[in-house]
Amino acid sequence: FDLIQDIMKYPLLIGELAPDQPSFEPSKNKKLVEDFRELRATVEKMGLLKPNRTFFLLHLCHILVLDVAAWLTIWYFGSSTMPFLFSALLLGTVQAQAGWLQHDFGHLSVFSKSKWNHWVHKFVIGHLKGAPASWWNHLHFQHHAKPNCFRKDPDVNMHPLFFALGKKLSVELGEQKKKFMPYNHQHKYFFIIGPPALVPLYFQWYIFYFVVQRKKWVDLAWMLTFYIRFFLTYLPLLGVKGILGLHLLVRFIESNWFVWITQMNHIPMHIDYDKNVDWFSTQLQATCNVRQSFFNDWFSGHLNFQIEHHLFPTMPRHNYWKVAPLVKSLCAKHGIEYHCKPLLTAFADIV
């Protein structure tokens, strides 16, 4: 990712076109590309790529406070049903919010030096969440490069094995007479194999396979610090069965939170093979926003501004709302629809 950023800043000469070759790819909108470059320059002049580190510090502090509060709840009130469930809810919130925070560091949005972002990223995703930074980087950067492009965006790899995604790809399945699942019922079984199951039944185990298979021993060490801390602090209070039940419930809460938020911005949008269109068009056809409110911003980690996030991946999230009017103006100028929905509508559009 660092190399990609450097290349974007300092283009490399890799050859010259023959005199009879066009200097611009016909699949891309040249005027739109130029206008977006101007917008990018304006964003830099406005200082919208500069982070407010106090914002991220306070966000980290509120995660740590919730984490401690979850332990204190069981320590003080005991392990009966209500304290147990309340503690699980707090820990599920910790996992979701730490997920949004690691996303900030993973996108190099907090510190000016990349290595500082990488260090803290390993702490947040490894120690606070028990997941490997290398696994997240491997998948997420592919997603940003080609969002909703089948066979290039790993986030739509559930097509066609589990779900039929996108109008064009679904029609293609019909024409090829391929059917791996009862797709006419996917809006029903989504509630079984989607939000409740992704983290506890898949991610939870696959991440260990990933780090061992790729020999990511530093990531594995960070992951183990999460599990060691969790078991040492809760085992005396809950016992083995109780702590395993708590962990599974927390992953269940986190999974539902994660899937609904991350899929509301992409799954209802255009999904197809890569058509090699320009950057702006690629991001706009694959993303949509959710209306801003204090709750929506907090609940989604500001990913309700998914359009702005995809156009400017390294922009600190507290600045998305500032650039949104400029993005809307560029969309209006070129006749591109800027999708923005209420939160519950965005959830409903997934299914």
Spell out the SS3 assignment of 94-106. HHHHHHHHHHHHH
- 1 within domain boundaries: no
Same domain, 90 and 129: yes
Percent share of the chain, pLDDT over 70: 93
Same domain, 309 and 193: no
Give the pLDDT band (50/70/90) at residue 341: very high
Give the tens place of pLDDT for each residue, 129-177. 999 999 999 999 999 999 999 999 999 998 888 989 988 899 888 888 8
Rounded to two decimals, the pTM is 0.90
Give the pLDDT band (50/70/90) at residue 191: very high
Confidence at residue 20, expressed as pLDDT on a 0 to 100 scale: 65
CA distances from 279 to 34, 50, 313, 319 (A): 11, 22, 12, 20
Same domain, 300 and 209: no
Give the pLDDT band (50/70/90) at residue 13: low
Residue with the larger pLDDT of the pair 326 and 2: 326
Same domain, 45 and 73: no
Where is the domain boundary, 235, 264, 293? 264
Same domain, 218 and 278: no
Question: How much is the average pLDDT of 66-93?
Answer: 97
> Average model confidence (pLDDT) for the chain?
92
Give the tens place of pLDDT for each residue, 27-45. 788 899 999 999 999 999 9
- 158 within domain boundaries: yes
Confidence at residue 178, expressed as pLDDT on a 0 to 100 scale: 83
Confidence at residue 67, expressed as pLDDT on a 0 to 100 scale: 98
Q: Which residues of 13-30 are buried (b: 16+ CB within 10 A; e: fewer)?
A: eeeeeeeeeeeeeeebbe
Same domain, 98 and 68: yes
Same domain, 87 and 129: yes
- 17 within domain boundaries: no
> Contacts from 25-33 at CB under 8 Å and sequence distance 24+?
25/276, 27/275, 27/276, 27/277, 28/276, 28/277, 28/278, 28/281, 29/277, 29/278, 29/280, 29/281, 29/334, 31/334, 32/278, 32/280, 32/281, 32/330, 32/334, 33/278, 33/279, 33/280
DSSP H/E element including 290: strand 289-290
Report d(CA 346, CA 325) in Å as an integer.
Answer: 21
Give the tens place of pLDDT for each residue, 52-65. 999 999 999 999 99
Residue 8 has pLDDT above 80, yes or no: no
Give the pLDDT band (50/70/90) at residue 216: very high
Where is the domain boundary, 264, 286, 317? 264
Same domain, 129 and 159: yes
Confidence at residue 16, expressed as pLDDT on a 0 to 100 scale: 66
Residue with the larger pLDDT of the pair 5 and 298: 298
Percent share of the chain, pLDDT over 90: 83
- 280 within domain boundaries: yes
Same domain, 260 and 284: no
Same domain, 171 and 185: yes
SS3 148: coil
Residue 10 has pLDDT above 60, yes or no: no
Residue 24 has pLDDT above 80, yes or no: no
- 209 within domain boundaries: yes
Same domain, 273 and 302: yes
- 122 within domain boundaries: yes
Confidence at residue 102, expressed as pLDDT on a 0 to 100 scale: 97
Question: How much is the average pLDDT of 207-224?
Answer: 97
Residue 91 has pLDDT above 90, yes or no: yes
Question: How much is the average pLDDT of 298-306?
Answer: 97
Number of domains in the chain: 2
Segments forming the whole domain that contains residue 120: 53-264
- 241 within domain boundaries: yes
Where is the domain boundary, 236, 264, 292? 264
Give the tens place of pLDDT for each residue, 219-236. 999 999 999 999 999 999
Q: Specify whether the CB–CB gap between 48 and 76 falls below 8 A.
A: no
- 110 within domain boundaries: yes
Give the pLDDT band (50/70/90) at residue 26: confident
Question: How much is the average pLDDT of 88-93?
Answer: 98
Same domain, 203 and 226: yes
Residue 11 has pLDDT above 70, yes or no: no
